[in-house]
């Protein structure tokens, strides 16, 4: 490739809208996903701001109780099914998994494109349901209410059912890709840790999601044909629905967080310029989390009337999740120790992940304990807990990964100053919004109400103000990222001094990923053996 000719890369070669709509290139599919999940995040974010706005004052200001129920349901469903589950695997994972293992593409490119269009199709059902009497059941669709409410449960569940297939196909594709498409010499222990995390995620996706599929089908049957298996009136059992649902939805939490943890492993190693500490421990703790995640779902049902024996077993097993999570956090911190730390924007997100995820994880232990949970169940404490894990964990990792790989994906560098400002706003806004909710919850503020007692007002107002700060951070981020696409400085091939294969190709990469097939000359984190320069800043 000569320098003089306008460089060919996956973005401009081949040309034309058809080459994008029918693309089989994993990078382009990743970009399509990225655009879609950003739209979903925006939609879910608008719902979130509306929720916080209603809760600014006690009493009904913005919306009545029914509308409020619909809005928080949509916030949850959109954020979970449309944004956070596909976020890291389908967008960043799709783009970078083949690059990280030196492959030309994923194992099944056509299935990959199909999974994107299935995602779009499922999302259309979800959006359609918004206009036909949005669901008000909560994203959990608990029976018996979900079989009785007059809102449009079926389009939303059908949407989630279809989105499940998209998730299954992505997971299936990744498993086969990781098994079969690694370049020669890349053994399992030379895989970047993000790949290990995607592998563990993919296992959960293919094992758990089919159960969600059958659950939602049963719910639809229950609603359409009154089959009665979840209806106590007819000899059915509504708690059974919760078992069905949480067998998927607890592991789904790890579909969300595990790839985030993978990104954090990459960020911490790259920006500490140090060999990652405890490679195998981190790799296997990903698999450990994936496995344990299937044994703990009953902790969502401590007050739902499941048997005491089941509650005890589930509570005990829930504590086990703390072990692999702890292993990861300790290994990351040890990697930082005596590292050459560069505080670039992606690293700032990684550090805030460490802080916020630890809070989110530890409060999870409170909720996994039977007696404490009875007090805290269905309060804002739970809301705060899972936002610390989902947003403080996954979204922070996603943003870290986005800022880390942005120059690689688009070949452009964003504005450093504004990216730090946005990061600070997001971090502060997040904590203001959600830390107050821990306090609210422990004082007894129940979740999912549009109204509250006057005594909770100061903290609610505080939380709402936090949501504005958070919103401001995201708006700034959108501005400088879009600006960078057009006016950004050209990024070098390896701006951060990473050792994984994606940095060995052009920014942006060419159509078939590598001009020369890369060779395994060093491991992904061999900073002790290889000298790399950080070229930006």
Contacting residues toward other proteins, per CB under 8 A = 65-66, 103-109, 111, 148, 150, 168, 172-173, 175-176, 179-181, 184, 206-211, 213-215, 218, 221-222, 225-229, 232-237, 239-240, 243-244, 247, 294-295, 297-298, 301, 305-310, 313-314, 512
CB of 261 to Cu ion, least distance (A): 16
Residue 393: CB minimum distance to other proteins, A: 25
Contacts of 238 (CB under 8 A, 6+ apart): 142, 143, 144, 230, 231, 232
* Cβ atoms within 10 Å of 326's Cβ, excluding its own: 14
Residue 35 C-beta: closest distance to other proteins, Å: 24
DSSP reduced 3-state for 507: coil
Which residues, numbered 265-284, are part of the site for Cu ion (CB under 5 A)?
A: none
Per partner kind, with CB cut-offs from 5 to 8 A, the member of Cu ion, other proteins, none near residue 150 is other proteins
Cβ 458 to Cu ion, closest distance in Å?
31
SS (H, E, C) 143-183: CCHHHHCCCCHHHHHHHHHHHHHHHHHHHHHHHHHHHHCCC
Question: Least Å distance between CB 368 and Cu ion?
Answer: 8
530 binds, among Cu ion, other proteins, none (CB under 5 to 8 A by kind): none
Report the 10 Å Cβ neighbour count for 132: 12
Nearer to Cu ion, 223 or 250 (CB): 250
Considering CB distances under 5 to 8 angstroms, the limit depending on partner class, which of other proteins, Cu ion, none binds residue 250?
Cu ion
Size of the residue set binding Cu ion (CB under 5 A): 1
For the chain, count helices (H), then strands (E).
18, 2
The H or E element spanning position 233 is none
* Binding test (CB under 5 A) with Cu ion, winner from 250, 403, 408, 460: 250
> Tokens representing 376?
């805290």
- 498 DSSP 8-state letter: -
Q: Which stretch binds Cu ion (CB under 5 A): 42-50, 101-109, 250-258, 355-363?
A: 250-258
Residue 307 burial by Cβ neighbours in a 10 Å radius (0-12, 13-18, 19+): exposed
Contact between 428 and 467 under an 8 Å Cβ cutoff? The reply is: no
Q: Under the criterion CB under 5 A, does residue 385 sit at the interface with Cu ion?
A: no
**Alpha carbon separation from 3 to 6, 7, 274, 501, 517 (Å, rounded):** 8, 7, 33, 22, 19
Residue 510 interaction partner, one of other proteins, Cu ion, none, beta carbon < 5-8 Å per kind: none
d(CA 127, CA 448): 22
| Shortest reach from residue 386's CB to Cu ion, in Å | 9
Residue 58 contact partner, candidates Cu ion, other proteins, none, CB within 5 to 8 A by sort of partner: none
Nearest Cα residue to 100 out of 363, 427, 495, 405: 405
Token pair for 427? 């971090």
Name the token pair of 32.
């399509």
Provide the minimum distance between the beta carbon of 199 and other proteins in the complex, in angstroms, as a whole number.
12
Binding partner selected for residue 109 from Cu ion, other proteins, none, CB under the kind-specific 5 to 8 Å limit: other proteins
Partner touching 107 among other proteins, Cu ion, none, CB below 5 to 8 Å by kind: other proteins
**Nearest of 240, 249, 202 to residue 219 by alpha carbon:** 240
Of the ranges 24-32, 245-253, 422-430, 462-470, which one interacts with Cu ion (CB under 5 A)? 245-253
Q: Closest residue to Cu ion, Cβ-based?
A: 250
Q: Which residues of this protein are in contact with Cu ion, per CB under 5 A?
A: 250
């Amino acid at each position: 490739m000569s320098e003089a000719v306008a460089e060919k890369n996956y973005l401009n070669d081949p040309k034309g809208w058809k080459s994008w709509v029918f693309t089989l290139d994993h990078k382009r599919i990743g970009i399509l996903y990225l655009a879609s999940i950003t739209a979903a995040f925006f939609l879910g974010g608008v719902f979130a701001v509306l929720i916080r706005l209603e809760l600014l004052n006690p009493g009904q200001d913005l919306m009545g109780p029914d509308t409020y129920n619909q809005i928080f349901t949509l916030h949850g469903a959109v954020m979970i099914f449309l944004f956070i589950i596909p976020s890291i695997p389908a967008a960043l994972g799709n783009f970078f998994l083949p690059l990280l293992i030196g492959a030309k593409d994923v194992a099944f490119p056509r299935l990959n494109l199909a999974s994107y269009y299935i995602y779009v199709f499922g999302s259309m059902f979800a959006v359609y349901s918004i206009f036909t009497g949005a669901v008000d059941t909560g994203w959990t669709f608990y029976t018996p209410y979900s079989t009785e409410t007059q809102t449009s449960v079926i389009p939303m569940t059908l949407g989630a059912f279809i989105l499940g297939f998209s998730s299954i196909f992505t997971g299936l594709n990744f498993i086969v890709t990781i098994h079969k498409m690694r370049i020669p010499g890349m053994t399992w222990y030379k895989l970047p840790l993000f790949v290990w995390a995607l592998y563990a995620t993919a296992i959960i996706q293919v094992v758990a999601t089919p159960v969600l599929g059958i659950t939602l089908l049963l719910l639809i049957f229950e609603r359409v044909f009154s089959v009665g298996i979840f209806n106590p009136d007819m000899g059915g059992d509504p708690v059974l629905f919760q078992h069905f649902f949480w067998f998927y939805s607890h592991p789904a939490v790890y579909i969300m967080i595990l790839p985030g943890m993978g990104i954090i492993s990459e960020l911490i190693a790259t920006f500490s310029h140090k060999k990652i500490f405890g490679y195998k421990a981190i790799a296997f703790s990903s698999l450990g989390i994936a496995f344990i995640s299937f044994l703990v779902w009953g902790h969502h049902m401590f007050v739902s009337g499941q048997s005491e024996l089941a509650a005890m077993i589930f509570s005990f097993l829930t504590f086990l999740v703390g072990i692999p999570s702890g292993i990861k956090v300790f290994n990351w911190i040890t990697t930082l120790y005596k590292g050459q730390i560069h505080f670039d924007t992606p690293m700032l997100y990684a550090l805030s992940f460490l802080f916020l995820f630890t809070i989110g994880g530890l409060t999870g232990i409170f909720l996994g304990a039977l007696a404490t949970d009875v007090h805290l169940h269905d309060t804002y404490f739970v809301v705060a807990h899972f936002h610390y894990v989902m947003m403080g964990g996954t979204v922070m990792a996603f943003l870290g990964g986005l800022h880390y790989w942005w120059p690689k994906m688009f070949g452009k560098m964003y504005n450093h100053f504004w990216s730090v400002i946005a990061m600070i706003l997001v971090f502060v806004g997040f904590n203001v919004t959600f830390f107050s909710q821990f306090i609210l919850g422990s004082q007894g503020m129940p979740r999912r109400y549009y109204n509250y007692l006057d005594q909770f007002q100061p903290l609610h107002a505080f939380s709402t103000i936090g949501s504005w700060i958070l919103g401001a951070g995201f708006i700034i981020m959108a501005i400088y990222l879009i600006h960078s696409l057009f006016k950004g400085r050209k990024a070098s091939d390896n701006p951060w001094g990473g050792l994984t294969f994606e940095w060995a190709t052009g920014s942006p990469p060419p159509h078939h990923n590598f001009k020369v097939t890369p060779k395994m000359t060093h491991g992904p984190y061999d900073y002790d053996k290889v000298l790399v320069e950080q070229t930006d800043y």
